[in-house]
Copies of this chain bind each other. A is one copy, B any other.
Amino acid sequence: MTNKKTYILLILMILPIISQLPQAHARENHPGPTWIWYPGDYEIWLSNKMQARRTERGAFFPPLWRYYSPYALVTFNKEFSVPETDTVMIRAEGECKIQLDGKMYSGDPEKMTIPPGEHSITIKVYNQEKTPALFVEGQYLKSDPSWKVTFEDKEWIDESGRASGQSGTEWQQVGSWDFNTAETLPSGFRLATQPQYTVAVQEEGAGFIADFGKETFGYMRLHGLKGKGKVKLYYGESEEEARSAEACETLDEVGFNGKQPEVYTLKNSKAFRYVQVRTEGGIELDSVSMQYEYLPLEYRGEFQSSDDLLNKIWDVSAYTMHLTTREFFIDGIKRDRWIWSGDAYQSYLMNYYLFFDNPSVKRTLFALRGKDPVNSHINTIMDYSFYWFLGVYDYYRYSGDKAFIRQVYPRMVSLMDFCLERRNDNNMMEGLPGDWVFIDWADGLSKKGEVSFEQLLLARSLETMSLCAGIMDDADASSRYKKLAAELKDDIFRAFWSEEKQAFLHNRVDGKTTDKITRYTNMFAIFFGYLDEQQEQGVKQNVLLNDEVQQITTPYMRFYELEALCEMGEQEYVLDEIRDYWGGMLELGATSFWEKYDPQEKGADQLAMYGRPFGKSLCHAWGASPVYLFGKYYLGVKPTSPGYATYEVRPELGGLKWMEGKVPAPEGEITVYCSRNEIRVTGAGGKGTLVFKSRNVPECRGAKPVKTGDHIYQLTIAPGKTYRVKYKHLK
């Protein structure tokens, strides 16, 4: 714990570091050749590796759910034509068999000559250990996302040696990321690193405590090693944790025989701000530093306002989001370092307002979903299966990426089949053996019977299925899912909506609906758009603004609660909440946002969770929601059709004097400035609509705001153009 002054100092130290990060935004549509693989397979492989890196006090601690594996043998195919002889280099991760126009090629795969004309090339790659992957580079023929791939091969030969069949094989479009040269092997992927140094060191007995000034993640380095002995490292997100050799969550112990190099870098990355270093035997060392490890991404979203506290909250949120955006979107950096679907779902949304990095969303969705058959919910959590569908829905809404939907749709169907088969006689889903019904960390929260919240998420998931079946041109499936969703929504209202209380009730056990109201179903119903105006007002008054309904203590569900309030125009109220809640964490010295925060808890109690004194993660993705809320509900930018083909800009000051910032969109950033008498918007691609209220008739040079309601005006925003509107703010 540090006091407020220290915090301000720290923020000042962090900011320049954030802005110094290499800003290598990996663009998706690389025109040249790229490494390709079976869609999802590399992601599954990489996530298996990453998630097996968790340790608990030095012991290996892999995930609690099932692992999938890549197909060890896959077949790539491309039909193509070349206008002249092409000399092609073929490289594979694995052994490969090449057939050109059905004939086996046994020459040098790095120098294959392809004569002019129409061709079909088939390349089979086998790799038991890593993901089979392929790189092809010719002048004309190049491995790229247009290639097809299958894990089935239904080719056979007859007695005469003719290939007599290849039908029935299911081909998929290949997967890829940004491995764009023959030498950048997918299996060799490593996050970027750069050195970071301590800001303070306190000598202590047989060692010292080093402070890196803020939450960070990476590989410790030991400098000036001399002699033989052991170095022990106790990591702490807090100073208390680093000081507790007995109870810190992560530690390292390295033995040296005197022949070590002078500088030694630890093999495993850890999350910490403080490290306690102790030596045993005759070993000595001068100092420690670290290799900070990160995914190089550009901060495309920005936010500044007249309120410094909010600006800091945005900055620390962005840093929290960056620390947890790695090979995949993970929950937190100290403890699990796993991909949890419910946590990742919020990362997707925050990502759309910070990095807009589609590959990170796709990698995470692929890794979470794994393969068929489905034997359990994602992460074994029922709600987390549903968030996965919601993640697909939002990804399409923000990116407009139909190719991904086509890749993932078969796996959507099988996960939904799994869910639908688990419904009870009322067509609702209860927790069955093996299902974890999570909802939220909250005291006394019932998970029994038919929980209204779970049904609501299922309804939204069915709507996602309907949307995606449409993209797959499967009208029958689309209307079947639509019907299922509509029926379920009716059932939800019948079973759980209380006319008297004007709110959804929590659950129904053995056919009896409980009296209990919780916030979950009610707030999700709002931003799913399932309520009419009257119902919304009921929920707002009787649930969201009602202190007697159990309070939410996790930033996880605060995310949705504040979103629901913003949906209903409560931006001013929400800013106060943010100042209190996130400001409260900053007050306690947070340099990244936490897994859980209860203002009532005192001192070291703030660090405990799961029955362990330092069990709580102090850098948790779900703590970063202001990044999302500020972009979507204050700068007010969101797509109104997939991929920002059309979008809305609806700035809401929420009591601020002014704010400005950027929201990334597929074709560039949308820039918004808003004060009480001026709005400035610069459009990116697509057609935007600025919506705002004004006391007077607003003016804009070169464009004319159209009045669409009482004091409400709209202005169409063309790509790349800047609009400067003079108006008079009306709350």
Residues of A within 8 A of B (CB): 45, 48-49, 52, 56-67, 69-73, 95-97, 104-106, 124, 126, 128-129, 151-157, 159-162, 164-165, 167-170, 372-373, 375-376, 380-381, 432-436, 441, 609-612, 615
| Contact partners of A435 in chain B: CB under 8 A | 154, 168
Smallest CB separation, A297 vs chain B (Å): 27
B66 touches A71 (CB 8 A): yes
Contact check: which of B70, B159, B433, B610 meets A167 at CB < 8 Å? B433
A434's closest neighbor in chain B, by CB?
A: B168
With contacts A69-B70, A70-B69 taken as known, whether A155 is within 8 angstroms of B434 at the C-beta atoms is no
Check A64–B156 contact: CB distance below 8 A: yes
Enumerate chain B residues within 8 angstroms of A65, measured Cβ to Cβ.
Answer: 152-154
Considering the complex, give the chain B residue whose CB is closest to the CB of A92. B60
Residues of B contacting A615 with CB < 8 Å?
161
A63 surroundings in chain B (CB, below 8 A)? 73, 153
Query: Closest residue of chain B to A71, judged by CB?
Result: B67
Given contacts A45-B128, A69-B71, A434-B168, contact A96 B156 (CB under 8 A): no
Contact A170 B375 (CB under 8 A): yes
In the complex, the answer to whether B62 meets A48 with C-beta atoms within 8 Å is no
Residues of B within 8 A of A105 (CB): 59
Contact of A376 among B126, B164, B168, B432 (CB under 8 A): B168
Q: Give Cα distance in the complex from A434 to B155, angstroms.
A: 8
Contact call B104/A152, Cβ cutoff below 8 A: no
Known: A69-B69, A157-B610, A161-B612. A62 touches B104 (CB 8 A): no
Chain B contacts of A170 at CB under 8 A?
375
Contact present for B373 and A373 (CB under 8 Å)? yes
| A124 partner residues in chain B, CB cutoff 8 A | 62
For the complex, what is the distance from the CA of A26 to the CA of B380, rounded to whole Å?
A: 41
Q: Give the docked Cα–Cα distance between A164 and B344 (Å).
A: 23
Pair B157/A57 contact, Cβ less than 8 Å = no
Which residues does chain B contribute within 8 Å of A104, judged by CB atoms? Answer: 56, 59, 61
- Given A59-B104, A434-B168, the answer on whether A152 and B73 have CB atoms closer than 8 Å is no
B residues in contact with A126, CB < 8 Å: 48, 52, 60, 62, 67
Q: Which of B97, B164, B381 contacts A60 (CB 8 A)?
A: B97
Known: A52-B95, A95-B52. A58 touches B167 (CB 8 A): no
Q: Which residues of B contact A168 (CB under 8 A)?
A: 376, 432-435
Alpha-carbon distance between A611 and B157 when the two chains are bound, in angstroms:
11
Closest chain B residue, CB of each to CB of A442: B159
Q: Is B432 a contact partner of A57 (Cβ separation < 8 A)?
A: no
Cross-chain pairs A/B with CB under 8 angstroms, 21 sampled: A48-B128, A52-B95, A52-B128, A56-B104, A59-B104, A60-B95, A62-B124, A63-B73, A66-B151, A67-B151, A69-B72, A129-B129, A152-B376, A152-B434, A153-B380, A154-B380, A159-B610, A161-B611, A167-B433, A168-B433, A168-B435
Contact with A434, one of B58, B72, B167 (Cβ below 8 angstroms): B167
Q: Which 7 pairs across A and B sit closest by C-beta, in order of nearness?
A: A168-B434, A161-B611, A168-B433, A59-B106, A67-B73, A161-B610, A167-B433
> Which single residue of chain B is at the shortest CB-CB distance from A379?
B156
Are B95 and A57 closer than 8 Å at their CB atoms? no
Nearest opposing residue in chain B for A97, CB measure = B60
| B67 x A376 contact (CB < 8 A) | no
Q: Please state if B64 and A155 are interface contacts (CB–CB under 8 Å).
A: yes
Give the residue name and chain of the B residue nearest to A608 (CB): B161
User: How far apart sit A689 and B376, CA to CA, in the bound complex (Å)?
Assistant: 52
Decide if B436 touches A165 in the complex (CB within 8 Å).
Answer: yes
Which residues of chain B are near A161, meaning CB under 8 Å? 610-612, 615
Q: How far is the CB of A404 from chain B (nearest CB, A)?
A: 22
Closest to A438 in B: B156
Option from B56, B58, B67, B95 in Cβ contact (under 8 Å) with A72: B67
Q: Which residue from B59, B66, B73 sits with its C-beta under 8 Å from A153?
A: B66
Alpha-carbon distance A162/B151, docked complex (angstroms): 41
Residues of chain B lying within 8 A (CB to CB) of residue A380:
153-154, 156
**Given A152-B376, A154-B380, A434-B154, A62 and B69 contact (CB-CB distance below 8 Å):** no
